[in-house]
Each structure stands twice: as C-alpha cells, then as structure tokens.
Amino acid sequence: MHRRFIGFLALKQKFIILLLLVFAIVLPFTIKNQYIFRLAILSLQWIFLTQSLNLLAGVLGQISLGHIAFYGIGAYTCTILAKNYDFPTWAAWLAAIAVSALFGFALALPTLRLSGYYLTIVTLGFGEIIRLIEINWVSLTRGPLGILNIPKPEFFGYQIKSNIQFYFLMLIILVLSTVLLCRLVNSRTGRAIVATREDSIAAEAMGINIFKYKTMVFVIAAAMAGLCGAFFAQYTNYIDPTSFKSDQSTLLIIMALLGGMGSQIGPFIGAIVLTILPEMIRELMEYRMLLYGVVLLLIMQVRPDGLMGGVNLRYVRQKLLFEKERSKKTAEKGAEAEL
Amino acid sequence: MSSILKVTGLTQVFGGLVALSDINMTVEQGEILGVIGPNGAGKTTFFNALTGIIPPTRGKIELMGEDITGIKPHIISSKGFARTFQNIRLFKKMTVLDNVMVGLHNKTHASLLASLLKTRSVRKEEAESEKKALEILQLLDLDDFRYELAGSLPYGLQRRLEIARALATDPLILLLDEPAAGMNEQETEDLLGIIQKLKELGYTIIIIEHDMKFIMNICERLYVFNHGAKIAEGTPEEIKKNAAVIEAYLGKES
Ligand SMILES: Nc1ncnc2c1ncn2[C@@H]1O[C@H](COP(=O)(O)OP(=O)(O)O)[C@@H](O)[C@H]1O
Ligand SMILES: [Mg+2]
C-alpha cells in the first residue's frame, strides 16, 4: 500500500504540488475564525522550522536538541533592533538571520573534533545556555517579563498587519524555502552533504571536505530558524523565554521524526499533524507531552523511519520511469521478434 | 617509465603496536602492483596512511614528486589517490548513479549559490557529470542498476560500485583493498576481467588481496608484508619461491 502510494506521489508530483498550492492560497479566504487563522499561520511556521531541523538532522544526520535556540536568537535580535533601535523590517530580519547564522557557525566548530551523540549533547547544552541568557540578561531581554508591543513588519512602505497578510508572508517564505531546499539536496552540494551523513570516511576519501559541508548545513539551518523567529516575534507581538524552551526543541524533533528524517515532504506532514492534533483535544492540553510520546511510540512501531523516512521522491520517480522505459523496449523487441 | 609514487620509511605506530615499519615502495606509471600478507600484516594500515585517513607516524609519501605526507584525506583525493575499502563503505541510501556522482565532486565546481539559482552553467554541469557517471557505470557493467539504492545491490556489485566511485575521481593511482573478498567464483572472474580492462586503459593500481590465484594472475610485481614489515618484493614467480614468504604463510618448518 505504502509503496504504491509513494509511487503515485512520485509520478504525479507536479500535479499534487499544484493542488496543494491552490488549496493553501484559497484556504485563508475561507477562514472566518481568528483562532483557526492563528493555527494555520502557526502550522506554516512550524513546517518551515521543521524543514530547517530536517536539513540538519535528516539530510546531514546530526541530531540537534537545541535547535529552538536559533529561533529564539532570531526572535530577540529582530525584536530588540526593531523596537529599541527603529531598524526597518528588512534590516532587522537580515540581522536576525545573520546573528543566528553566526551562532550556527559557532556551534558547528566542535564538529572538527566531535560528531554524533557527543555533538548532540553539545547542542543540548547550547540550547540551555541561550535560554538562560534570555532569562537573565534582563537589561536586554527584560527577562521573564518578556517584550511587548513589537512593531509590525513593514516592507518598503507596505505594512503587514492582518492575519491574511501574515499568512501569505509565511506562505511565500515556505514556498521559497521548499524550492531552494529541493534544489540544494539535488545538487553537487547536496550530494556531498548526504554522502557525509552516509559515510564520512568514504566521503572524505572521495574528496569531500566534510567539515566545510557540516559547517554549511549548521549555518543554513540556524539562519532559517532565525528568520522564522523574526517572523514569529513580529507576528505575535510579544515574546518571552517560555517560547524557546527545550520542550519546543523536542517537539521540533518529534515533528521531523513523525514526518520522516531526510525527506522533503516529511516536515509538512509532521508539523501539520502535531500543530493541529493537540488543538483538537484542547481539554487534554496538560497531557500534550504525553500525547507526543504516544505518537512517537506508535510511529516507531509502525514505521521506525517516520512516515516518509528514507523516501526520496526523485529517486522513486527516476526508477519508475526507467523501468517503464525498459519494459517498453523489451516489449517492442518482443513484437519485432514475432514479426 | 617514470615512477609516480615514492614511499620512503613509512612507519605507523598505534600505542605500543608497530603496524607498519619502514616501508619503502616505488610505483611506476601503468603497473598493477600486488600487496599480500597474512591478516594483520598492516596492508590496510598502509592504504590508510597513503590516503591520509590515518596519517603516518613517520616517513614520506611523494606523488608525482610532490610530498603529500600528512595532508587531509579530501585533498589527497584531489591529488590523485582513490581507494575502495575492505569493509564496503558505500553511500547506501543514495542511488548507484549518485554514488558515482559523489566521486565526481572535485571534477565539478557548482557553488551553493549557483545551485540554488539553478543557473544555466549548473544545469549543464549536472547533465555532463551525469553522462560521465553513466560512462563509468557502463565500463563496469553497472548501468542497468543506476537508479537502485547502493545498499540494495548484491555484495559483488557493491564491491564493483566502489571501484566505479573511485574511478570517478579520475585518480593517478587506484587502491583496491581486497576487492575479491567474499565474492563467489563468477564474481571473482568478472572482477578479474574488469581489472584487466582498467589495466588496458592505462590505470595504475595497487591491489591488496588474499586470493593467491587472483593476485598471481593480474600483478606484475608483488610486495609481501608481515608484522608491519616488507619481507619480500618481486615478480609472482620470485615470490612463490621466496623462503621468507613461505615461512610467513606456512609457519616455520620444523
Ligand atoms: N586505527 C587503529 N588503531 C589501532 N590499531 C590498529 C588500527 N588500525 C589497524 N590496527 C592494527 O594494526 C595491525 C594491522 O592491521 P591491518 O592493517 O588492518 O592489517 P591487514 O589489512 O594486513 O589485515 C593490526 O594488528 C590492527 O589491529
Ligand atoms: Mg586489511
């Protein structure tokens, strides 16, 4: 069942993407309820965040337990610059991306010596350090009080205020990131990154500077999360350190795992399901973490790699088309022989 | 003939264990050289030192007159060493084609930015490297499997794919670490044919192998290692008669 479904997805890719895009564009015009709107925007945002973690954890294979820290760094950078220093939105966003990327670079440096689980522990520590800074550097972040009344984004005179505007802003970011990530993964650079994940010693022996590619992925993933943080801050109007706690990092990992590490569709499935599911059973909000645990256990039982784990639609498509062509050729040959 | 590889005094010490001691070797352009010796003799360690995976404790490695001792493995690769591994190390979740295209890494130049923009030169380069990779796969009779995942191939084909991937780096010297290990008779015979073909194409190859028939068949010159030291060197005929070699393999006659 699953295989045939994947085959269908792979062959009808363009059509399905078009359909989903039309759905995503029409959707906001049908939403009347503020709360549902917020959920839709949050879903888009979590997809984007999961994409960034998936690049690091799925494509490069380096699990990070502190990824939400970059989201926090982006949110605080943007907020402080836009609110206290009147930075125009584009500059505040660029700064948020740059500062997160810089921290991503710093976190990548230990990869020179560490890898795998050891580095995962470092990412955990990194996440906690950033959170402690957010809480304790009161003169900059106002600590647990948080920062209120964050200015709305404005791009060259066009202000983003309404839900629908925020929705489309995030949708545009997401479409762009999806296109760019697909291009990245299917490029010379992407092959080098996947090869590094699959076998770093063989990758080096094939001439790949694995340190360079690991660093590159850390920087890109951090920059993406930072951008998402900037969006989040200006969208919600208020940030405090509770939005960037380690259980958010855990949630992010569960989203990536549920969707399937390393797959480009995985983040969509994982993030949407785990943003909406808990909301549908709001009464059980206190048991949210428990719910995540149950979902994770179920997945590990049924499909240990996640729903789309290990699925590369490009590969599936190439193989199916190649086999089709070959069977056509042999059929033609058979027909010739009969004549 | 000019020698393309010159190894002098290569020594590798792991803690108290001397895994390689004072190895000297010269390799001529276009020759097929065999390295044999009992298990644990230091053959793989020798390859690891040459390719920079574990830099040697002492000694000097010169490739085309350039000292490459101790530099990073990915740079050594671009200088002209390519290898296969005794315990197969393929990129299992990548296709056969993509494995070979990874081997083309240093023959291609698309930057991250250009790839994201999918510029015309990037598309051209991708098409060209795909074509190049397919040619290599054809040479090794693997092109029918191009879209299979490397990890799903049968054992013998996986070993062959490792050779294909190594060839993609366009090496000056190809290092094969027990390429016939675990192969059945048919697969071994196919492999022999492939190495013959590579020889005709002018490749310089160093082969580590246990299978005596195999190595006597294909190599013009043999080096014999035992306990990290080179105990003999010569043509297969000379080696067969060498007393030290017989002793290393069969134990001291009493
Ligand atoms: N990285 C390493 N660390 C410690 N000892 C090693 C390492 N690599 C190889 N050795 C030791 O060096 C000796 C030679 O091993 P190896 O080169 O693999 O032998 P061969 O390939 O000839 O069978 C063995 O005793 C092995 O245990
Ligand atoms: Mg060995």
Ligand 1 geometric centre to CA of B42 (Å): 6
Both B68 and B128 in one domain: the answer is: no
- Asked if B124 is an interface residue toward chain A (Cβ–Cβ < 8 A), one would say no
Which residues in chain B show pLDDT less than 70? Answer: 1-2, 250-254
Please check whether residue B86 lies inside any domain of the structure. Answer: no
Which of the residue ranges A24-28, A184-188, A292-296, B248-252 would you say has the lowest mean pLDDT?
Answer: B248-252
Region of B204 please: left (phi>0), alpha (psi -120 to 50) or beta.
beta
Name the burial class of residue A5, with classes exposed (0-12), middle (13-18) and buried (19+) by CB atoms within 10 angstroms of its CB: exposed
What pLDDT is stored for residue B252 in this prediction? Answer: 55
CA A292 to mean position of chain CA atoms: 18
Please check whether residue B87 lies inside any domain of the structure. Answer: no
Both B177 and B154 in one domain: the answer is: no
Nearest residue, CB atoms, A183 vs list B82, B116, B165? B116
What pLDDT is stored for residue B9 in this prediction? Answer: 92
Whether the Cβ atoms of residue B93 and residue A58 lie closer than 8 Å to each other: no
Predicted structure pTM score: 0.92
List chain A domain ranges. Answer: 31-308
Residues of chain A with Cβ-Cβ distance to B93 below 8 Å are 194, 198, 262, 310, 312
Instruction: Chain A: give the shortest CA distance to residue B75, in Å.
Output: 6
Please check whether residue B85 lies inside any domain of the structure. Answer: no
DSSP A150: P
Nearest to B66 by CA among B55, B81, B54: B81
Among chain A residues, the shortest Cα distance to B104 is held by A206
Both B98 and B197 in one domain: the answer is: no
Answer with the one of B119, B141, B165 that is the final residue of a domain. B165
- Cα-based distances in Å from A182 to A125, A185, A189, A266: 31, 5, 12, 13
Across chain B, which distance is largest between two alpha carbons, in Å? 73
Six-digit token string for A157: 């005179």
Higher pLDDT among residues A107 and B212, named by residue: A107
Ligand 2 geometric centre to CA of B223 (Å): 14
Both B111 and B148 in one domain: the answer is: yes
Region of B65 please: left (phi>0), alpha (psi -120 to 50) or beta.
left
What pLDDT is stored for residue B84 in this prediction? Answer: 96
Cβ–ligand 1 contact at B140 (below 6 Å): no
State yes or no: ipTM above 0.90: yes
Residue located nearest, by CA, to atom 19 of ligand 1: B40
Count of domains for chain B: 2
**3-class DSSP assignment, residue A94:** helix
Whether the Cβ atoms of residue A214 and residue A196 lie closer than 8 Å to each other: yes
Residues of A with CB under 8 A from a CB of B: 180, 183-184, 187-192, 194-195, 198-199, 201-210, 216, 262, 310, 312, 315, 318-319, 322
Q: What is the CATH number of the domain that holds B177?
A: 3.40.50.300
- Asked if B240 is an interface residue toward chain A (Cβ–Cβ < 8 A), one would say no
Both B204 and B159 in one domain: the answer is: no
Higher pLDDT among residues A48 and A242, named by residue: A48
Both B181 and B242 in one domain: the answer is: yes
- Asked if B85 is an interface residue toward chain A (Cβ–Cβ < 8 A), one would say yes
Answer with the one of B124, B142, B165 that is the final residue of a domain. B165
* Rounded CA separation A24/A170 (Å): 11
The HSE-up count of residue B95 (CA atoms within 13 Å, CB side) is: 24
- Residue A217 CB partners (closer than 8 Å, separation 6+): A55, A56, A59, A60, A62, A193
Both B98 and B41 in one domain: the answer is: no
Nearest to A308 by CA among A259, A251, A248, A239: A259
Please check whether residue B57 lies inside any domain of the structure. Answer: yes
Both B188 and B65 in one domain: the answer is: yes
Both B135 and B175 in one domain: the answer is: no
Nearest residue, CB atoms, B74 vs list A209, A312, A319? A209
Q: Is B91–A199 a contact, with Cβ atoms under 8 angstroms apart?
A: yes
Six-digit token string for A324: 């089709």
Both B37 and B150 in one domain: the answer is: no
Both B190 and B252 in one domain: the answer is: yes
The residue whose CB lies within 8 Å of the most ligand 1 atoms, and thus the one to mutate among B13, B45, B85, is B45
Please check whether residue B19 lies inside any domain of the structure. Answer: yes
Atom of ligand 1 nearest to the CA of B208: 21
Six-digit token string for A164: 């629908």
Answer with the one of B131, B165, B199 that is the final residue of a domain. B165
Both B177 and B225 in one domain: the answer is: yes
H or E segment and range at residue A156:
none
Residues of chain A with Cβ-Cβ distance to B148 below 8 Å are 319
Please check whether residue B35 lies inside any domain of the structure. Answer: yes
For the domain bounded by A31-308, which CATH number is listed? Answer: 1.10.3470
Cβ–ligand 1 contact at B12 (below 6 Å): no
Cβ–ligand 1 contact at B41 (below 6 Å): yes
Cβ–ligand 1 contact at B204 (below 6 Å): no
- β pairing state of B221-226 and B229-234: antiparallel
What pLDDT is stored for residue B254 in this prediction? Answer: 40
Using pLDDT thresholds of 50, 70 and 90, give the confidence band for residue A14. confident
* Rounded CA separation A186/A149 (Å): 42
Domain assignment of residue B214, given as a range: 1-80+171-254
DSSP per-residue codes, chain B: --EEEEEEEEEEEETTEEEEEEEEEEEETT-EEEEE-STTSSHHHHHHHHTTSS--SEEEEEETTEE-TT--HHHHHHHTEEE--SS----TTSBHHHHHHHHTGGG----HHHHHHT-HHHHHHHHHHHHHHHHHHHHTT-GGGTTSBGGGS-HHHHHHHHHHHHHHT--SEEEEESTTTT--HHHHHHHHHHHHHHHHTT-EEEEE-S-HHHHHHH-SEEEEEETTEEEEEE-HHHHHH-HHHHHHHH----
Q: What is the pLDDT of residues A270-320, one digit of tens each?
A: 899 888 887 777 776 677 777 778 877 888 788 777 888 878 888 988 998
Cβ–ligand 1 contact at B83 (below 6 Å): no
* Rounded CA separation A224/A217 (Å): 11
Q: Is B74–A195 a contact, with Cβ atoms under 8 angstroms apart?
A: no
